[in-house]
């Protein structure tokens, strides 16, 4: 994990859940945010801290600070350039990780790798570990998508996708769209698919070429269903539109993480009395 915010908290929460069930959990974290490893609340987790060989720690911190500002802004040009730099930066770090012989040796005992889909380096790490073990062991791959459902992403996981009633991320459409809105919704999905192939895949193909893993990434890698064993997707069933999902996609969030309902006798009596009085 590069940053120290929401994606870190989510990964740490999954790690803590695994530890509570008797497993060991190791998190990759940037040297720029090494202080997280010393926080008492994460003392039950193991950490592997990685360095940035092509930029200073302050540059990394400044980048994430500026990225947060751009993400909340109205202009797209600066954000697109920043995203491209982010993908390049993450790919450089991924290459360094895969070429780190000592780190790869320490990770050989892992049984599964959880990949945050904003940084797909875990796919390369899994391939490198299996190769180093002469393919004597299959390491499970679990993808994690912490943001709201994106139809084109669900499609890549093997779920059905119909742009006529499944609104794409950031469109603002509902499941009841006019013809023009459906057309715009479809085009938005195409843009996401093209950007994913044009920006992300080529840089990781370069990582593969430089690490002897040329066959892992390809332009045809549009169906993550072929690579991952399980997909964890954030859902909030109170506000999300209905999405048909395949059995390998596990909804996380919303009602699944809420606490059990409690008695509301006093509140109910107040509401009933208030309604009667008003009537």
pLDDT in tens, the chain (279 residues): 666 677 888 888 889 999 999 999 999 998 888 888 999 999 999 999 998 887 777 777 777 776 665 555 544 555 566 677 778 888 999 999 999 999 999 999 999 999 988 788 999 999 999 999 999 999 999 988 877 788 877 887 888 888 888 888 778 888 889 999 999 999 888 887 777 777 788 898 999 999 999 888 765 555 566 778 888 888 777 777 778 888 888 887 755 445 555 565 554 444 444 444 333
Query: Which residue in 168, 149, 155 sits closest to 239, CA to CA?
Result: 149
230 forms beta bridges with 142
Walk me through the domains of the chain, giving residue ranges and CATH numbers: 51-159+195-270 (3.40.50)
Structure tokens at 85: 């730099």
Please state, as a whole number, how many other Cβ atoms lie within 10 Å of the Cβ of residue 235: 21
The helix/strand count (H/E) of the chain reads as 9, 6
Question: Looking at residue 275, what is its pLDDT?
Answer: 41
On whether the CB atoms of residues 206 and 117 are closer than 8 A, the answer is no
H or E element that contains 59: helix 57-71
End-to-end CA distance of the chain: 56
186/188 Cα distance (integer angstroms) = 5
Structure tokens at 102: 């000592």
Beta strands in the chain (DSSP E): 26-30, 46-50, 112-116, 140-145, 230-234, 249-252
Please state, as a whole number, how many other Cβ atoms lie within 10 Å of the Cβ of residue 129: 19
């Amino acid at each position: 994990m590069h940053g120290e915010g929401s994606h870190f908290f989510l990964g740490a929460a999954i790690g803590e859940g695994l530890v509570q069930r008797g497993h060991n959990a190791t998190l990759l974290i940037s040297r720029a945010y090494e202080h997280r490893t010393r926080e008492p609340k994460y003392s039950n987790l193991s950490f592997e801290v990685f360095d940035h060989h092509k930029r200073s720690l302050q540059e990394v911190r400044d980048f994430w600070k500026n990225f947060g500002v751009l993400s909340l802004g109205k202009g797209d040009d600066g954000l697109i350039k920043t995203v491209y730099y982010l993908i390049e930066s993450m790919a450089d770090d991924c290459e360094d990780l895969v070429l780190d012989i000592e780190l790869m040796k320490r990770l050989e005992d892992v049984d599964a790798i959880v990949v945050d889909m904003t940084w797909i380096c875990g796919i390369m790490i899994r391939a490198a570990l299996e190769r180093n073990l002469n393919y004597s062991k299959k390491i499970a791959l679990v993808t994690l998508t912490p943001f709201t459902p994106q139809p084109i992403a669900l499609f890549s996981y093997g779920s059905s996708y119909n742009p006529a009633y499944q609104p794409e991320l950031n469109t603002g459409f509902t499941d009841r769209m006019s013809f023009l809105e459906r057309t715009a919704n479809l085009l938005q999905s195409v843009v996401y698919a093209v950007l994913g192939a044009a920006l992300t895949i080529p840089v990781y193909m370069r990582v593969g070429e430089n690490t002897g893993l040329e066959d892992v990434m390809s332009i045809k890698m549009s169906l993550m269903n072929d690579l991952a064993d399980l997909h964890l997707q954030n859902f909030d069933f109170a506000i999300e539109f209905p999405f048909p999902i395949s059995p390998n996609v596990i909804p996380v969030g919303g009602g699944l993480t809420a606490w059990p309902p409690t008695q509301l006798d006093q509140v109910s009596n107040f509401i009933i009395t208030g309604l009667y009085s008003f009537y």
